[in-house]
Amino acid sequence: MKKPHELFLGKPHIASRHSVVINDIRYIGFKPTDSAAEPINFRGIPYANSTAGNQRLAAPTPYVAAQDEIDCTAFGPACWQDPVGMRMVFEGLLTMFREIIFPSTKVGHSKAYGQFSEDCLNLNLWTPALDDQKRAVMVWIHGGAFKSGSNSELGLYNGTHLSHKGDVVVVSINYRFGLFALHLPDEGISNIALQDQIFALQWIEEHIAKFGGDPNNVTIFGESAGGISVANLLASSKAKGLFHKAICQSGGGLSLTPEEYQRVFNTAAEQLKKATKGEPLTADHIRSVESPRDLVKVSGKVDEALEAFGTTKIGYLPLRDGTHVDAEGVLSALKKGAGSQVPLLVGSNTQEMQLFIAAFGPLFPTNQKMVTRGIRQLLDQLAEGESAEEAHAVEVATTRVWASFSESLAEKAGKVPSKRALLEACVTFLTFTLPSYQLAEAHVQGSGGQVYSYLLHYGSEKFGACHGVDLHLLWNFGAPYEEYFCKGKVNFLPDYQDQQVALLADEMQRAWIHFAKTGTPAAVHQKVWEPFPSRMNLDLTSFVDSWDNDGALQNWFKIEKATNLAT
């Protein structure tokens, strides 16, 4: 049996060709079947010029075509990256050793993400028809910790199903990340990932009507780093008016403070000392690195820079530059009314950390250090420079969070939880559940507008409701993905052939589509989705409750008060 990426990323079957003319350039898409229900596909549409060579780290610029026809039947390349993380999830620790011997960066492509290139600013588009119907537009921003990912990702982001089911236009975008989007604020360079995303949204605003879409009804949605991007765009004045609804999945309003960024910059300078030759690191030094492979090789060390300073923040998060991201952060901007006219749907999964624990297996630590780092992330605080009082408060909070979850898990299971189970619950709450709640709360405080929240409880038998499992339900992976993942060696995703799971996926898709069209999610399992602080609990039998009655959250408020933490 062929693997999913071979079936989806390979040469497509073309039943008919369809084209759109933009600025005298003909973009040629296709339909893979003659079915009237099959959306028209446009793959790899360039929305900006190449950022290779002396354009590395430059702001995106309008695309200038060298020919009058562009074939949009093949996916475009993704940003250069090391895709070992995704491969570890599916293949285990052996992947780490395979990657050392046969790194994807040597050949310039991976099975998961296709080709790598610095000419990566492209998007994919699915539309029911090339007419003037002004359909709602759903723009997907992929995840990958701002160091990996693509707009086709192992063939999983296939907009065919959502486009057909909802009669909507679906778009998925690529953007730069890692050292190809390093912040260098002293040179006026920052938040390149967000700049690319904003540039893509500007392209969509200008041209989507030609693809049957409505430029005045655009929803951005994303997961993980994509969800964090959604939150930052929601709060950014630079993105105002480019979208009208936002969906944040397993993200939150995370960004780097200048103090945190300085540690990331110092690590980047150390890793690139061969290029700098002892001089302060500049954009020209990064441009002087001839092979993008050499930047990828050291990218991981920069991403992990903040671990040594006691926080779970990743190194390539958006930066509070005061231009694209508020100087006081996303939550502060939202509380001041940023994004006030934009309805928000936000949530996470109940066992997010299971994915990472499973990927690293016995190498994943089971002590309380990860809990302490999660608390510091919420505080925008580093261990270095903490006062004795601050350090004590974090230590006490760590102990109390650990004890609180130990008690609740023991009560639920009727036995003392394992350290791994306890760690997963604590860190999932601190790094996913709580940031999602805080984002919802901040947006309500600032705008008083429409905010809806959820928790996804259902997941696979092996990994539970882990990080990324919502993608399976939302994107309708189906055959051959469910066959490969569920029946094969991996057993990562829920069994989509199960009728209850299929119904949950259908309900979730309809809720997202209805939100994109109207600003309110559709009922799930006949349960009306009430605004925040009500919460939809997505499961085989979904139910509604309130954050006001969430035991873990209420315990956290008590811990905050007792330790004088200011999150």
What would the pLDDT profile of 477-530 be if each residue is shown by its tens digit?
654 455 545 554 455 566 666 788 889 999 999 999 999 999 999 999 999 999
Residue 215's pLDDT band (cuts 50, 70, 90): very high
Beta bridge partners of 401: none
SS (HEC) of 363-408 = HCCCCCHHHHHHHHHHHCCCCCCCCHHHHHHHHHHHHHHHHHHHHH
Q: How far is it, in rounded angstroms, from Cα 242 to Cα 220?
A: 9
Give me the percent of the chain exceeding a pLDDT of 90. 77
pLDDT of 9: 58
**Predicted local confidence at residue 367, as pLDDT:** 84
Picking from 114, 99, 104, 91, the residue whose alpha carbon sits closest to that of residue 43 is 114
d(CA 510, CA 9) in angstroms, rounded, equals 27
Which of the two residues, 500 and 131, has the higher pLDDT score? Answer: 131
44, 124 Cβ separation under 8 angstroms: yes
Q: What is the pLDDT of residue 494?
A: 65
> CA 82, CA 529: separation in Å to the nearest integer?
40
DSSP labels, 421-448: HHHHHHHHIIIIIHHHHHHHHHHHHHH-
Q: One-letter amino acid identity for 383? A: A
pLDDT at 150: 92
What pLDDT digit, counting tens, does each position of 273-327 carry?
999 998 999 999 999 999 999 999 899 899 999 999 999 999 999 999 999 999 9
Residue 456's identity, in one-letter code, is: L
Computed over every residue of the chain, the mean pLDDT equals: 90
Query: What pLDDT shows up at residue 186?
Result: 96
Q: Where do we find the tokens 């960024």? A: 261
Tens digits of residue pLDDT in 453-475: 999 999 877 788 999 989 988 98
Q: Give residue 96's pLDDT.
A: 44
Query: What per-residue confidence (pLDDT) applies to 365?
Result: 76
Separation between Cα atoms, residue 62 and residue 440, nearest integer Å? 35
When computed from its CA atoms, the radius of gyration of the chain, rounded to whole angstroms, is 23
pLDDT at 415 over 60: yes
> Helix, strand, or coil here: 227?
helix
Give Cβ neighbours of residue 159 (< 8 Å, ≥ 6 apart).
39, 124, 125, 126, 138, 140, 170, 171, 172
pLDDT in tens, 434-456: 999 999 999 999 988 799 999 99
Lowest mean pLDDT among 232-241, 278-287, 484-493, 541-550: 484-493
**What pLDDT score was predicted for residue 102?**
47
Using alpha carbons only, give the angle 534, 540, 541 rounded to the nearest 5 degrees. Answer: 55
- Measure the CA–CA gap between 321 and 256, rounded to whole angstroms: 9
- Cβ-count burial of 489 within 10 angstroms (0-12 exposed, 13-18 middle, 19+ buried)? exposed
Helical ranges in 171-313 per DSSP H? 192-207, 225-235, 258-271, 273-276, 283-288, 292-303
SS3 413: helix
pLDDT score, position 48: 98
Count CB-CB contacts under 10 A for residue 181. 24
Amino acid 480: pLDDT: 47
pLDDT band at 10, cuts 50/70/90? low
pLDDT in tens, 356-366: 887 676 667 77
SS3 566: coil
Q: What token pair was written down for 239?
A: 């993105």
> Of all helices (H) and strands (E), which one includes residue 216?
strand 213-223
Reported as half-sphere exposure (CB side, CA atoms, 13 A), residue 74 has a value of 9
Backbone angles phi, psi at 376, to 5 degrees: -65, -35
Position 154 scores a pLDDT of: 67
